[in-house]
Amino acid sequence: MNTDRRELVVIGGGPAGMAAAISAKESGVEDILIIDREYKPGGILKQCIHDGFGLHKFKKVLTGPEYAHKYIKRLEEHKIEINTKTLVTNLSQNKIITAYNSSNGMFKVKADAVILAMGSREKTAGAIQLAGTRPSGIYTAGLVQKLINMKNIMVGKEAVILGSGDVGLIMARRMALEGVKVKAVLEIMPHASGLPRNINQCLKDYSIPLKLNHTIVEIEGQKRIKSIIAAKVDDKLRPIPNTKEEIICDTLILSVGLIPENELSRQAGIFLDNKTGGPLVKNNLETNIPGIFAAGNVLHIHDVVDYVSEEASRAGRFAADFLKNKSLSQDNYLSVVSGKGVKYIVPQLVKTNLKQKIYFRPNKPITNPKVVVRIGNEICFSEKFKALHPSIMQKVILPETSKSTKAKFLEVAIE
Amino acid sequence: MKNYYNVIIVGGGVIGTAIARELAKYKLSTAILEKESDVGLKASTSNSGVIHAGFSYPPGSLKAELCMRGNELIKDLTEKLGVPFNKTGKLVVAFNRKSLAKLYEYEKISKKNGAEVRLIGGEEVRKMEPNLAPCLAALYSPNSAIINPFQFITALAENALHNGVDILLNTEVKNIDRKGTKFEICTSKNNLICDYVINAAGLYSAEIARKYSGEDNYKIFPCKGEYHVLDKNISYLISHLIYPVPFINDTKSIGGSGIHLTPTTDGNILIGPSDEYIEKRNDYSTTNEIMDLLTKEAKKFVPKISSKDIIKSYSGIRSKIVPPEIGGYTDFVIEKSPDYDSFLNLIGIESPGLTAAPGIAEYVVNMIDKDLNLKHSESFYPEREKPVVFADLPENEQNILIEKNPNYGEIICRCEKVTRQEILDALNNPLGVRTIKSLRNRTRITMGRCQGGYCLERVADIMLEEGLDLSQITLDGEGSNLFSGLLKGVSG
């Protein structure tokens, strides 16, 4: 079997993959191949028929398919090749990609550069060790979204939603609009994990109760789910015994988080961050393997697609830079570490001298915090914020420093 | 539809299907009655899939004899039936001196039972299993193995069917009456007549024995075992079955072999099972308490295991005939009933039931040989063609398949890499079962780390394309519908 050689292969044709490929093309990369497992590009945007996309990027309120269409059009204008209905099963350290489809069978591509844009998958009942039986009627929110919005298939009549992630909130509203009785959204944490605007527009506007500090302790039903037993949790997130309450439902929807889809990264030997679940990247979004870049939800879970597109455009430009120089970067780097109150930070390595952006999320909601960035013991950045929330990714732009430092790490803390 | 059989087997678990296949070697008509939507949906598949070597059962017991015989037969049987079998060997690990005496006891029992074992030191264990926590010694059993229980039961049933056995699914026994020298069995579907009844009804075996055959010596005490399934990413952590030394200083033990680690034929590690007597025999729930315990126990063996690796938890229920207040070991019961010579009861077939199944089948056929005047059938065909497992094939063979049939190029389940053609084949299985679980047990769809998040909707599409109605798509038969219908105002 002959192995094709390509300059740049983008794995995944969702919002990240499309933006990365377009920006690489615009930065001068000629030979680009996108590989996507769906029948058409756009990724998860295709099933997001609600609006709210593009506010930051286009200053417009778009639906998911409309947002995707803007990029699909540009892919076509740029004549960027895309293999759809094709599943990548392996990525090797030396950038050989193995993929399958029904027209070409199994094929291999050797890429000079790769952009990982595989997105994420949903956490399941198994992943969160949900107690109880496993009858029919338990779904992840994204799956229900696809069934309803793309297949016109409804999954049940009375639903409980576990987890207050954005997809779950959107689906609460979507199901309510279709006449499903959405009995409650249960959230184990003392705060919602979805965006505040979705709490208002998807729950409050439809009188769907949000029960914070609540989880499911039992699932009842043999063939189809009949009810769930909810309970309040204490500050260690353990269920409090005398707070049990049965909620009758035939459907349980899980919106308990997304996991960056890094099976291929693992195969290639890419270092992963156990906090983000994504690759450890330098400020140019490059992984530990020179020429392999990552962007979008595969790198860390984003709250809005506009930032995915922005990040991916940067990855496309950086991949183009790499293809021009192809030499190992001579820069010195600082490790970026999470200090007090910080859940995670991307990128995980920054250059010692450059003016650059870093993104982070706080552990919990906090008002009037101060974000302090230190190199070694020396404060290099400090700014007061009105409020920080785990559901909202925060950005700070570090000032340029010309001072040489012996420190090897940079710490971001919320004080 | 046929309504008379020489033999009717109640229960389509591994015991029922193994006996049916064994009987198919003779000139007689046999049917299996199974109340569920497919064979082997309960204890037969919710276990570790371990093939035991027979070093722990009391010499002279049925468990010892039939386990040894089953272990001897199963490799050849799995080859004939195209079922994954892997002779991993087993390590029963002693972390301290307290446990040593039990290992010596096992060594003694194994000599009497004719099982092969060897005591090895901590250093050697470390070489065999580098990720295991440091231990003092271990009992090494080279003949312990694993099989794929889903494939095994399906294959037994398919091969029995191929050789003329009728497998009646969704068919629950409602009553059995003696009619002269025969039995009349009323089921949820129709009434059947037979000469001989074999009761292999697992959790319901004692009830059927008592109600219809005058056997009131036994009662089933359901005993739940919970499991975790771990992500294939960490399959490298162990290569043998890893067992604890059970019940030291614990006289009230349930008599199980303890929470152990099983490297499955599919590449996942299982943690479990727990031991818990329960009230309701259909309580397949998992519990927070046990799920935490399983993870804790697993970490004692392999500290690198973490709860992040768990992709699914499930439970199975053992058919124990020893009450909780007594606990400990009891033997299999394989006896003719007090009332009728032609009514055979198999009660309390728990571990090592899966291993012993081929041995039990032989044993049962020997017992009823004279009653039924069995004559060998010349047409018995012992083999079942192994289904294609695309993901296991080398790349060149994969390409040949795709060239012949492009459906092999379309991977529907991305976690387990199951292709459209494998799903189509499973959907047209000889037993005629068309549920999500039947596809799962035959192809591994929805069994990977995303648990169907990606493939479920695609599989439903294939089922619709193949002529099923939306309302016919169920998890495991009637009442387990996946979908409530099309959206309002949407037609077609």
ipTM of this complex: 0.94
Which residues have C-beta within 8 Å of that of residue A179, sequence separation ≥ 6?
B488
CA angle A151, B413, A111 (to 5 degrees): 105
| Per-residue pLDDT, B285 | 95
| Average confidence score pLDDT of chain B | 95
**Omega before residue A347 within 30° of 0, cis:** yes
Q: Are A99 and A86 in contact (CB under 8 A)?
A: yes
Q: Count chain A–chain B contacts defined by CB atoms under 8 A.
A: 139
How many CA atoms does the CB half-sphere of A22 hold within 13 Å? 21
pLDDT of A175-227, one tens digit each?
999 999 999 999 999 999 998 999 999 999 999 999 999 999 999 999 999 99
Q: Are B47 and B316 in contact (CB under 8 A)?
A: yes
Max CA separation in chain A (angstroms): 67
Residue B240 is among the residues annotated as catalytic for this protein: no
Q: Examine the pLDDT at A7 and tell me if it is beyond 70.
A: yes
Alpha-carbon distances of A199 from A172, A191, A303, A387, rounded to whole Å:
10, 11, 14, 17
**Cα separation of A171 and B388, whole Å?**
38
pLDDT of B349-397, one tens digit each?
999 999 999 999 999 999 999 899 999 999 999 999 999 999 999 999 9
* Amino acid present at B430: P
Q: Examine the pLDDT at A139 and tell me if it is beyond 90.
A: yes
How many CA atoms does the CB half-sphere of B253 hold within 13 Å? 14
**Cα separation of B88 and B144, whole Å?**
7
State the pLDDT confidence band at B329, using cuts at 50, 70 and 90: confident
The number of angstroms, rounded, from the C-alpha of B62 to the middle of its chain's C-alpha atoms is 19
**Cα separation of B399 and A2, whole Å?**
13
Sign of the CA dihedral running A297, A300, A301, A307 = negative
Tell me the three state secondary structure of residue B456: helix
Q: Does B191 touch chain A (CB under 8 A)?
A: no
- Could you say which residues from 340 to 399 on chain B have a Cβ atom under 8 Å away from some Cβ of chain A? 395, 398-399
State the pLDDT confidence band at B86, using cuts at 50, 70 and 90: very high
Q: Which of A100, A121, A250 sits opposite B450 (nearest CB)?
A: A121
Tell me the three state secondary structure of residue A351: strand
User: A142–B453: do the CB atoms touch at under 8 Å?
Assistant: yes
- Closest by CA to B382, choosing from B81, B147, B47, B3, is B81
User: B284–A142: do the CB atoms touch at under 8 Å?
Assistant: no
In chain A, residues with a C-beta closer than 8 Å to the C-beta of B487 are 148, 152-154, 178
**Cα separation of B353 and B368, whole Å?**
20
Sign of the CA dihedral running B300, B301, B302, B307 = negative
User: A124–B312: do the CB atoms touch at under 8 Å?
Assistant: yes
**Cα separation of B288 and B310, whole Å?**
14
pLDDT of B387-420, one tens digit each?
999 999 999 999 999 999 999 999 999 999 999 9
Torsions phi, psi for B352 (to 5 deg): -95, 50
Alpha-carbon distances of A399 from A356, A357, A375, A382, rounded to whole Å:
7, 9, 12, 10
Fold exhibited by the domain B90-142+222-316: D-Amino Acid Oxidase; Chain A, domain 2 (3.30.9)
Q: Are B323 and B221 in contact (CB under 8 A)?
A: yes
Rg over CA atoms, chain A: 22
Strand partners, B276: B224
Torsions phi, psi for B225 (to 5 deg): -125, 120
| Per-residue pLDDT, A354 | 65
Q: Are B463 and B427 in contact (CB under 8 A)?
A: yes
Interface test with A, best of B307, B414, B424 (most A CBs within 10 A): B414
Chain A residue with the nearest C-alpha to that of B403: A105
User: A133–B284: do the CB atoms touch at under 8 Å?
Assistant: yes
Q: Does A103 touch chain B (CB under 8 A)?
A: yes
CB neighbour class for B134 (10 Å; exposed up to 12, middle 13-18, buried from 19): exposed
Q: Does B235 touch chain A (CB under 8 A)?
A: no
Strand partners, B187: B173
User: A155–B483: do the CB atoms touch at under 8 Å?
Assistant: yes
| Per-residue pLDDT, B89 | 98
Q: Examine the pLDDT at B251 and tell me if it is beyond 50.
A: no
Predicted structure pTM score: 0.95
Q: Does domain B1-83+146-220+321-386 have CATH number 3.40.50.970?
A: no
**Cα separation of A162 and A140, whole Å?**
9
Chain A residue with the nearest C-alpha to that of B282: A222
State the pLDDT confidence band at A406, using cuts at 50, 70 and 90: confident
Alpha-carbon distances of A338 from A4, A349, A374, A409, B311, rounded to whole Å:
42, 12, 11, 10, 28
Judge whether B1-83+146-220+321-386 and B90-142+222-316 match in fold: no
Q: Which of B291, B403, B409 sits opposite A100 (nearest CB)?
A: B409
Q: Which of A85, A121, A151 sits opposite B453 (nearest CB)?
A: A121
Q: Does B267 touch chain A (CB under 8 A)?
A: no
| Per-residue pLDDT, A327 | 67
Q: Does B448 touch chain A (CB under 8 A)?
A: no
Interface test with B, best of A39, A83, A89, A124 (most B CBs within 10 A): A124
How many CA atoms does the CB half-sphere of B81 hold within 13 Å? 29
Give the domain ranges of chain B: 1-83+146-220+321-386, 90-142+222-316, 390-472
Q: Examine the pLDDT at B253 and tell me if it is beyond 60.
A: no
Q: Does B456 touch chain A (CB under 8 A)?
A: yes
CB neighbour class for B336 (10 Å; exposed up to 12, middle 13-18, buried from 19): middle
State the pLDDT confidence band at A1, using cuts at 50, 70 and 90: low
Q: Does A125 touch chain B (CB under 8 A)?
A: yes
Tokens 């300059």 found at? A7
| Average confidence score pLDDT of chain A | 94
Tokens 């494939």 found at? B151
**Per-residue buried b or exposed e for A289-303, using 16+ beta carbons within 10 Å of the residue's own CB:** bebbbbbbbbbbbbb
**Cα separation of A315 and A24, whole Å?**
8
- Could you say which residues from 200 to 229 on chain B have a Cβ atom under 8 Å away from some Cβ of chain A? 229
Higher-pLDDT residue of B255, B307:
B307
Torsions phi, psi for A147 (to 5 deg): -60, -45
Q: Are A346 and A358 in contact (CB under 8 A)?
A: yes
| Per-residue pLDDT, A72 | 98
- Closest by CA to A344, choosing from A387, A408, A394, is A394
Average pLDDT over residues B204-209: 98
| Per-residue pLDDT, B300 | 96
pLDDT of A364-384, one tens digit each?
999 999 999 998 888 888 999
User: B288–A131: do the CB atoms touch at under 8 Å?
Assistant: yes
β-strand B137-141 against A366-367: which pairing, if any? unpaired
CB neighbour class for A274 (10 Å; exposed up to 12, middle 13-18, buried from 19): exposed
Which residues have C-beta within 8 Å of that of residue B182, sequence separation ≥ 6?
B193, B194, B195
Which residues have C-beta within 8 Å of that of residue A59, sequence separation ≥ 6?
none
Chain A residue with the nearest C-alpha to that of B306: A127
pLDDT of A266-287, one tens digit each?
999 999 999 999 999 999 999 9
Tell me the three state secondary structure of residue B78: helix
Strand partners, A362: A342
- Closest by CA to B151, choosing from B364, B459, B464, B447, is B447
